[in-house]
Amino acid sequence: MIQNDDAFDVSIDDTFDFLSAEYAELFNGSDATAFQHPLWLDSVYRKLAPAMAAKPLVVVARHRAGGKLAAVLPLVRVRRGPMRTIEFADLRVSDYLAPVCTVKTFADLLRDQAACRKLRQLLRPFDLLRIPKLLDARMPIETLLGAPRRVSMDTNAYATVLSTPFEQWQINALGRSYQKELAKKWRQIHKKGNLAFSCCTDDSSIHEAMEAMKKFRGPRFHEQGDGDLLQRAEYFDFYSNVALGGLGSFSRLYAMKMDGVVIATALGLSHRDTLLIIMTGFDIDGYKSQSIGALTFESVARDCIERGEQVLDFTIGDEPYKKQFGGQPTPMSSVTQSGSAAGAIALLALKQAPWIKQAAKRVADLRPQPIRASTGTQ
């Protein structure tokens, strides 16, 4: 590897403006995901980080010649029990994590060993560094951080390739049998009243759909023995801000109505000919026998195809319905590094017997709290 020890200046900028023109330019030309979009990260840092007692840790790399922004690594410092952890600016809302730069720039940054050393120094001190939800190895963040090799997670992401016309996609993705089953459900639900499906186009319709989503999700996850992110004010504010702020460009909120009343909702992010579904809500009590979730996803797929989009991404999670809609699994991986003796002990314990693993998770608070943002379907 050819080294270049003077190509980049690396620093911490905890007041970095993710709505700035320079970040928009960087993101638009990068190989990052929708979850590093300017609006998304701005909302994470402004709305979620303070509520979660997470401190910004934004690593910025600039070209030494001219000072142009080259890469951003959006991180946070969070206390997990007694552990000082460094994590991606995720805070339980992002499905895919990635450095914000091009693959080429990332490779150039790795060749600048002085910049890599500086970056690693800036991150200390910490007990544990955790970056899960990595889609691929095109940008090996573990090499940048000097961390151990990434490991596979026990979950996948799923996406279905869209094709035209819609009827052809149905055949390709659903298969004849499931297609006929959904056609039967459509006939059943149309008998119940005046059914309408559309995108929210203004503040009022977005507010109505978000409130309905919150109402539908609360009892459902409560009955499963846990809670739901949307029931917490800071998360409801976060998702509402994304839906409103990205209206007509980055975000898309769908609502299905029966006689003017919302019975299903789906919130998605639009990024590079792909719609990523990040949260849904369904009136299961009223329309479970009509498979309201499946009908919503089919309606979303039809709209995406009509818009010329190429992929419908159901994001992370192994829910069975994703395969029913032609979703193909993509493995996810995770990078973890210890930065102290306490962190090393916690990581070692995680590899031991199940009861030790569970105890270590409780002590270090490594396991996410039992509050879900799963899309799900019925």
**Model pLDDT for residues 314-358, shown as the tens digit of each residue:** 999 999 999 999 999 999 999 999 989 888 888 887 666 444 445
- Report whether 303 contacts 254 (CB < 8 A): yes
Name the residue with higher pLDDT: 362 or 129.
129
* Among 251, 248, 214, residue whose Cα is nearest residue 231: 214
Give the domain CATH number at 250: 3.40.630.30
User: To 10 degrees, what angle do helices 175-190 and 292-306 make?
Assistant: 110
Report the chain's mean pLDDT, rounded to a whole number: 91
* Among 264, 273, 270, residue whose Cα is nearest residue 375: 264
Q: Are residues 230 and 108 in the same domain?
A: no
Residue 293 lies in a domain: yes
Strand partners, 57: 75
Q: Are residues 246 and 143 in the same domain?
A: no
Q: Are residues 185 and 298 in the same domain?
A: yes
Residue 351 lies in a domain: no
How many Å apart are CA 296 and CA 166, to the nearest integer? Answer: 15
Q: Are residues 168 and 311 in the same domain?
A: yes
**Residue 338 CA: distances (Å) to CA of 87, 109, 240, 366:** 12, 23, 36, 13
Residue 345 lies in a domain: no
How many Å apart are CA 216 and CA 206, to the nearest integer? Answer: 15
Domain boundary among 92, 113, 147: 147
Q: Are residues 173 and 314 in the same domain?
A: yes
Q: Are residues 239 and 277 in the same domain?
A: yes
Q: Are residues 24 and 115 in the same domain?
A: yes
Percentage of the chain surpassing pLDDT 70? 89
Residue 70 lies in a domain: yes
Q: Are residues 22 and 139 in the same domain?
A: yes
Domain boundary among 104, 122, 147: 147
Mean pLDDT of 33-59: 97
pTM for the full predicted model: 0.91
Q: Is the peptide bond before 125 cis (omega within 30 degrees of 0)?
A: yes
pLDDT band at residue 222 using 50, 70 and 90 as cut-offs: low
Residue 3 lies in a domain: no
Strand partners, 73: 59
Residue range of the domain that includes 89: 8-147
Q: What is the pLDDT of residues 138-186, one digit of tens each?
A: 999 999 999 999 999 999 999 999 999 999 999 999 999 999 999 999 9
Q: Are residues 282 and 318 in the same domain?
A: yes
Q: Are residues 60 and 128 in the same domain?
A: yes
Residue 377 lies in a domain: no
Give the domain CATH number at 40: 3.40.630
Residue 184 lies in a domain: yes
Residue 357 lies in a domain: no
pLDDT band at residue 376 using 50, 70 and 90 as cut-offs: low
Q: Are residues 203 and 323 in the same domain?
A: yes
Q: Are residues 272 and 174 in the same domain?
A: yes
Residue 369 pLDDT exceeds 50? no
Per-residue confidence (pLDDT) for residue 358, from 0 to 100: 52
Mean pLDDT of 172-201: 96
Strand partners, 255: 198, 265
Number of structural domains found in the chain? 2
